[in-house]
Amino acid sequence: RPRPAPASQHPRRPRFPPLWVMSSLAIYGRFWCLHQAVPFVDKVLGLAGAMDNRPLGHTDFLFRVPILFLAFIFPHTKILMVAHVVNIVSWAFWMPRVWDYMCWCALTEIVFVV
């Protein structure tokens, strides 16, 4: 009777490994995606949302949501870089009408890109 394969040779791996196994970039990327998703969840649920975020438009749902899902599932450097660039371009478009908190977030994202 054949023995089952050890867990290390099992062909199916969990999609989201535990935090102590993931790289620092993957942890940062997933938490960044969760932070970016909060205004969208507020909008979908019909909640008032945070006061420190600008109103979301159709282009946000068209560009930012797909890249957030992609970056959450595959938190690789290139995907996170594209997600940050999309956010920076969105921020620059809305620049006259943003809160100071969003400026600090944009500076953090610019540091990631550079």
The whole-angstrom separation of Cα 92 and Cα 9 is: 48
pLDDT at 41 over 80: yes
CB 98 within 8 A of CB 68: no
Domain residue ranges in the chain: 23-113
Select, from the ranges 52-56, 85-89, 99-103, the one with the highest average predicted confidence (pLDDT): 85-89
Give the number of other CB atoms < 10 A from CB of residue 9.
7
- Confidence band (pLDDT; 50, 70, 90) for 112? confident
pLDDT at 49 over 70: no
Instruction: Compute the average pLDDT of residues 61-74.
Output: 92
Long-range interactions of 52-61: CB distance < 8 A, separation 24+: 52/99, 52/101, 52/102, 53/99, 53/101, 53/102, 54/94, 54/97, 54/98, 54/99, 54/102, 59/90, 60/90
Distances (CA, A) of 96 to 4, 5, 28, 72, 75: 62, 60, 29, 29, 31
Q: What is the mean pLDDT of the chain?
A: 80
pTM attached to this predicted model: 0.71
Task: Give me the residue label for tokens 């595959």.
Answer: 74
